[in-house]
Amino acid sequence: MLLSAADSLLLIVDIQARLLPVMKDGDRVVGNTVRLLQAAGALAVPVLLTEQYPEGLGATVPAVRAAAGEAPALAKKDFSGYADPVIRARIADCGRPQVVIAGIEAHVCVLQTALQLAAAHYRVAVVADAVSSRHADSVAVAGRRMAAAGITLATTEMCLFEWLGTAAHPEFRAISRLIK
C-alpha cells in the first residue's frame, strides 16, 4: 500500500506525560511524531489524538500537543482507540480510508487500535520509528503481529515522501527540511 495525503488520517495514540518517560527511545518517538504532524499540517492530512485515562496518565506531551495545533485530543479508557464509540465516529467522520498511526505503547494501545481498524477495513500503516514500548522486544513482537495481520509498517521518511508523491509537489522543500 502506498500512502496518499488525500486518503490519510494521522492518528496519534497516547503520547502522554506519565507514559513517555518510561518508553524506550521516547525522544525519537516525539521527534518523529512532530515531523509527521508538521507534514500533516502542510499537506492537509486530518489529525486525531487519543489519551488513555488522562486523569491518571496526564495529557499529551507539550511538543506533540503544540505540533498538533487544533486537532482534538480524545480521552479513552479502552486500550483500542477504535473500541471507543466517540473516537470511532471521529475517525469515520474524517472520511479517509487510510489511517497512519504513531504513538505508545506499540504492543498495547497501538496494536489493538491498528488491529481493530484493519478489521473494520481501513488501510492501516504504523510508523515504526514513531512508536515505542517499555521494552524493545514488545515493539518487535507487536510489529510482527501487525505485519502478519496485513498492517503496513513504514518509517517517518517513507510516510512523508509517499504523502508528497513527487518532488514537483509545492510542499516538497518544506517537507524535505523536516528530515534533515
Q: Which positions are catalytic?
A: 14, 76, 109
Q: How many CB atoms lie within 10 A of CB 134?
A: 16
d(CA 64, CA 79): 20
Give the length of the chain. 180
d(CA 155, CA 177): 16
Across 146-177, b (16+ Cβ under 10 Å) vs e yields: beeeebbbbebbbbbbbbbeeeebeeeeebee
Give the SS3 label for residue 29: helix
Backbone angles phi, psi at 95, to 5 degrees: 65, 30
Pinpoint the alpha helices (H) of 8-164: 26-42, 54-57, 62-67, 85-94, 111-119, 136-148, 156-164
Please enumerate in sequence order all residues whose Cβ is within 8 A of that of 129, keeping only pairs 6 or more positions apart, or say none. Answer: 28, 29, 32, 155, 156
